[in-house]
Amino acid sequence: MESDEGLLLQVAGRKEATAVPHDAGQPSDPVAAWQAWTREAQRQGQGQGHEHPGEPAFLVVSGSRIWRKPVNEQALNDIVQEACNLAGLSGHYVYTSLRAGLIRTALRADQQTHDIAAHTDLRSLGSVTRHLRREHLLSRSVAGQLGL
């Protein structure tokens, strides 16, 4: 469902809907990217994921042709890795890296752990706490704060 503020998504396998806010005017605006993707898929007669929650949101693309077939896990990993390479990031990234990155970025922005867990559909705070511990290893190191 789209609104002026962004997208409200009901993802298969998740208990709750999740929100994706606009980043209006930015080339990285996820809502604008979603709208462009769904327009092109509809133009080719291959999908209306935002109108039919049971339909796959991301379909196979070959050349400029969109196929009514869901993207597989390896293709998602390839897409994420290519985007990371284009952004100048080194290392190996997979689609689950996006979730870890969101958690780490939210922690750095001092977001509440329960809000992060709710947004990422985690059933407990344990995963967020593990990320928090890693984030604090250097930033809140007692040895570092003592100048050692």
What type of residue sits at position 117?
A
Provide the pLDDT for residue 50. 52
Structure tokens, 23: 């980043």
Most confident of 8-17, 50-59, 84-93, 134-143: 84-93
Nearest CA-CA partner of 84 in 73, 70, 98: 98
Number of residues assigned to the chain:
148
Domain ranges for the chain: 1-71, 92-148
- Spatial separation of the C-alpha atoms in residues 112 and 125, rounded to whole Å: 11
Question: What is the CA 105 to chain-centroid distance, rounded?
Answer: 12
Q: pLDDT value at position 52?
A: 63
pLDDT at 88 > cutoff 90: yes
- Give the pLDDT band (50/70/90) at residue 53: low
Alpha carbon distances (Å) from 24 to 27, 32, 109? 8, 8, 20
pTM of the model: 0.71
